[in-house]
Chains A and B, each alone.
Chain A
């Protein structure tokens, strides 16, 4: 198994790139006119999970972006999904 140092050597630049891209995305949405929607709020709500000291951050973010309901719905009104619950 690789060491922490080797994992950093392998993936730090990729993670750095994605983090900056996320920051730029937040800036971009805020810079443009109009109203953001539930997706933007859901994304911002998930961000503090990144700073957690507990493992399982990917699972926690996926959970925060999931539909909380438990019962089947009566009828589908669309076929696709948005990436965040309404």
Chain B
């Protein structure tokens, strides 16, 4: 099945996973910068992480014939200390001109704090200043609905923002409507326990019939499945969707959004 994995944290995955993705038909992988499962203690830690994302991972993916792209930021989990976050943000411009960097992400909120919100808005401004697409993380579990609302309210204050260049990720049934109604793209993350199951994602596709939707595995160091997108494609087949329609969701939609960056070429 030809598909794009638009959100995967491959730095946390084994080389065997690259092989599985290649065998499953993955045509491209996009990796947003995120939390490593622990807090980094210095900006130098992020410098090395950005090197890994922009240099090492594309080479690792290339061994399996898969183009690898990335998004850069300091993630909201490590943005509680705004001073530290700003020190890290000073490093980011050095990497933004690397050939596989698509935009700013995954920025957003985690516990919906004032500091997280301030750093989120500074990232949005950085993206606007450079006309870059934005990938937004929404909080987990009980914090998601409030965080999504805060993010939408904040974005509404950026009058020059092209909403078609912004994807708000990890939507669920209680947040997808507000995201799509406001004109943003929405990402559905397929996780075994939290976020979204394959059949709930297909239900949302049925209910919203929107061309501004993508699905991702967001596979990382936690409980997650790097083959979640292609497995969801299989569930769509079981629910009588045509191969063309499945491809429109798992390949054409992410390709259309990601191609807003000139660097996304597959």
Contact = CB atoms under 8 A, between A and B. Distances in A.
Interface of A: 1-2, 6-7, 10-11, 56, 58-59, 62-63, 65-70, 72-85
Q: Is the interface of A mostly helix, strand, loop or mixed?
A: loop
B111 A70 contact: no
A73 B172 CA distance: 23
A2 B240 contact: yes
Contact of A67 (B143, B173, B203): B143
B39 to A, nearest CB: 8
Nearest to A76: B111
A59 B174 contact: yes
Contact of B113 (A6, A11, A63, A72): A72
B186 to A, nearest CB: 14
Given A67-B143, A75-B115, 6 more contacts: A1-B239, A7-B239, A72-B116, A80-B140, A83-B141, A83-B194
A85 B139 CA distance: 13
Contact of A78 (B111, B112, B240): B111
Contacts of A7: 239
A74 B240 contact: no
A66 B115 CA distance: 21
B100 interface: no
Interface string B154-178: 0000000000000000001110000
Nearest to A58: B173
A66 B145 CA distance: 6
B142 A84 contact: yes
B200 to A, nearest CB: 7
A67 to B, nearest CB: 5
A11 B114 CA distance: 43
A75 to B, nearest CB: 6
A85 B112 contact: no
Contact of A75 (B113, B139, B142, B203): B113
